């Protein structure tokens, strides 16, 4: 029990770790990566219309994934520059 407590007390030595002096802004990326709702399709829906709706939802989801990846890459690049 004493070893973990002593190790925690040792963490705050200057130069032991690099403190994070700013938060990483991830709210924009999280907003981009919201789930895509599935289209409402019933037994009465024409199969061609159902296919087009499903395809549109897939294209929207893939677009959000690509935009989210780009957002995360931009945040990492911006954070790495120290600005």
Q: Where are the domains of the chain?
A: 21-80
pLDDT tens string 12-33: 555 544 455 556 677 888 888 9
Q: Which residue has the higher pLDDT, 79 or 5?
A: 79
Q: How far is CA 59 from CA 19, 43, 55, 79, 83, in A?
A: 41, 23, 6, 30, 34
> Between these two residues, 9 and 53, which has the higher pLDDT value?
53
Per-residue pLDDT at 9:
53
Q: What is the pLDDT of residue 4?
A: 52
The predicted model scores a pTM of 0.61
């Amino acid at each position: 029990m004493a070893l973990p407590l002593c190790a925690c007390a040792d963490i705050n030595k200057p130069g032991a770790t690099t403190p994070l002096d700013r938060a990483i802004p991830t709210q924009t990326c999280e907003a981009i990566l919201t789930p895509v709702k599935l289209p409402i399709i019933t037994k009465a829906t024409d199969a061609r219309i159902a296919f087009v709706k499903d395809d549109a939802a897939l294209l929207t989801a893939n677009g959000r994934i690509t935009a989210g990846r780009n957002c995360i890459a931009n945040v990492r690049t911006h954070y790495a520059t120290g600005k």
